Chain A
Amino acid sequence: MKKSLDGINLLYPTPTTIVGALVEGRPNFITIAHIGIVNHAKPFLLSLSMGKSHYTNAGIKKNKAFSVNIPSEDLLPSPISVLSITPNLF
């Protein structure tokens, strides 16, 4: 039997990514899972959907660049693993 759920988004799960950008000159990272693949052709395009209140948005708009990093399960928190994330902005 189908149950109507009133227009909620069930397009999950998605890969969890860590988006990197320079914000006011400093590398910043934010976990983003609302991501999309736009195409598989040149120019290869992907999408990120990031709430307007996020600190990182301004840095992406200013520098017109960001990185998308795919963490592994083993990047679940340990203090060392956070330090080992390498910014890949340039």
Chain B
Amino acid sequence: MGKSHYTNAGIKKNKAFSVNIPSEDLVVATDYVGLVSGKKTDKSDVFEIFYGKLPSAPLINECPINMACRLYDVYDTPTHDLFIGEIVETYADESVLNDGKVDLAQVKPLLFDMSSIKYWSIGKPIAACWNIGKQLKKK
């Protein structure tokens, strides 16, 4: 996160943050909270907030996936703070779970692309990981 961001100081002070995965239907609000700074605009009423075990990690009810993190380390770069979080708690909407596992087709995450400057939607699964490559293993 760029050092000029308003949120960085809060993460450093409270040593906690949340990571929330918005769905496609949240694209407007998602873009908005990335456009305006908390320095000038109060964003505390954009979403419905809930808290888990970490009192300094506000979680977004509308996002189907939420992770509450304790600050584990900060790697300093000239322009950005690289925050490394230890995930303390994870929440998922039951509507995006299938047999207890996340179904990406239900999450409909917004994929960010710097080249086109567009949010993209996810496609379809095409092959099994740690599996399809077995056919190239040398006997």
Q: Residues of A at under 8 Å CB distance from B?
A: 1-13, 31, 36, 38-41, 43, 45, 47, 73, 76-77, 79, 82
Contact = CB atoms under 8 A, between A and B. Distances in A.
Given A9-B87, A76-B132, A82-B136, A2 B67 contact: no
Contacts, number: 76
Q: Is the interface of B mostly helix, strand, loop or mixed?
A: strand
A5 B133 contact: no
Chain A interface mostly? loop
A2 B90 contact: no
Contact of A10 (B67, B77, B122): B67
Interface string B95-116: 0010000101000010000100
Given A4-B52, A13-B104, A77 B67 contact: no
B89 interface: yes
7 contacts: A2-B61, A2-B66, A6-B89, A7-B88, A7-B89, A8-B90, A41-B2
| Residue with the highest number of chain B CB atoms closer than 10 Å, among A1, A5, A9, A41 | A5
A39 B80 contact: yes
